[in-house]
Amino acid sequence: MSTFEDFVTLDPREVPLGGPRGMTVHRTLPAKRTSLIGAWCFVDHFGPDDVSDGGMQVARHPHTGLATVSWLFEGAITHRDSIGSHALVRPGDVDLMVAGSGITHSEYSVADTTILHGVQLWYALPERTRFRDQHFEVHTPPVITTGAARARVGMGRLRATDDDGAELEDTSPVVTDTALGMAQIEVRAGRGLSLELDARHEHGLLVDSGAARLRAGERTASAGRRELVVLPDATSRLELHAEEGEELRVMLLSGEPLGEDIIMWWNFVARTHEEIAAFRGRYQAEIGHELSLDQAPIAPIVRERAGLSAEDEQFGPFAAHTPAALPAPMLPNGRLRSRGRHGPPG
């Protein structure tokens, strides 16, 4: 597995979400330089956008082998899924959905949301749990503050000291399948924060607003809005300084190395091309596209590991009278390639 000896900046690319009247998101992970930070494998940053004439309108779609995390700064989203969850996600909430062997869900910004702003993240489930039962929860972490900074710890543990010596510390009760950290951190313009990090984990810092100066040992970097900076490996302390003029807001992502190669395609995470093809075929059959259920059986590995029978639905039922499900795109002509700590060459 390759290592990072210095800061690496991942630049965002614009991706349309929800069709021509939908919204644009800024995606930094996966990237050619790397596909993983710990188990984090997908980072979308959006807004602040005026969504009074559109917004997030993502109809029912599937996931396998991963967990999704929604975190909002402004606005609200309605979440509905095939295990019966129906929740309103608001700023400061951790919206965690574990897909396991297969789930479908939809996400719509609510009617009275005019500005939508936040991040959506995925983390890959490790081999030992990737066919586990599905799960959904919403947790609202408390705000912790000092004179220079404030934070919400959505996952894992945060410990930091501001430039007056005041401490920020909290631990999230949210349980994940692999050790992960996620925290929203805000630092007043011109002030600084020293973060204690687990040197065994991988770390990334996504800038939402403002500009940051970073120092890890003798290495330094700067980061601006929408950039995701991967920290050098074995970093145990990060000095984070907010430039003058605007408050800094960042998302700190961290996690133990996944140590596994994965294949990501559309909304699926798997280990082989054949698994992806089977997931796609079964989903299409379950929503009434292309093949019949008999022609697209549940993959043997899913039946074995998830305890499903041939007659079960891999992606589950969905509430009636909701918008039609999104059909899957066509698979590419070539074989899908695995991605690890560094993405495929080129």
For 221-268, the DSSP string reads EEE-TT-EEEPPTT--EEEEEEPTTS-EEEEEEEE----S-BEEETTE
**β-strand partners of 107:** 58, 79
Per-residue pLDDT of the chain (346 residues; tens, 9 = 90+): 568 999 999 999 999 876 555 678 999 999 999 999 999 999 999 999 888 777 788 899 999 999 999 999 999 999 999 999 999 999 999 999 999 999 999 999 898 889 999 999 999 999 999 999 999 999 999 999 999 999 999 999 999 999 999 999 999 999 999 999 999 999 999 999 999 999 999 999 999 999 999 999 999 999 999 999 999 999 999 999 999 999 999 999 999 999 999 999 999 999 999 999 999 999 999 999 998 999 999 999 999 999 999 999 999 988 778 888 999 999 999 999 998 887 555 4
Answer yes or no: is 33 within a domain: yes
The two tokens of residue 109 are 């910004």
Instruction: Give the domain extent around 225.
Output: 8-255
The alpha carbon of 160 is separated from its chain's Cα centroid by a whole number of angstroms, namely 23
- Quick one: CA dihedral 19, 25, 26, 28, positive or negative? negative
CA distance 251 to 240: 12
- What CATH number did the domain enclosing 175 receive? 2.60.120.10
Answer yes or no: is 29 within a domain: yes
- pLDDT, position 322: 83
User: Which pTM value belongs to this model?
Assistant: 0.96
CB 245 within 8 A of CB 323: no
The two tokens of residue 173 are 């009760």
- pLDDT, position 49: 87
Answer yes or no: is 34 within a domain: yes
Total domains, the chain = 1
- pLDDT, position 344: 56
- pLDDT, position 346: 40
Answer yes or no: is 207 within a domain: yes
Answer yes or no: is 315 within a domain: no
Half-sphere CA count of 266, side-chain side, radius 13 A: 18
Answer yes or no: is 152 within a domain: yes
**How many helices (H) and strands (E) are present in the chain, helices listed first?**
2, 26
CB 93 within 8 A of CB 72: yes
- pLDDT, position 321: 80
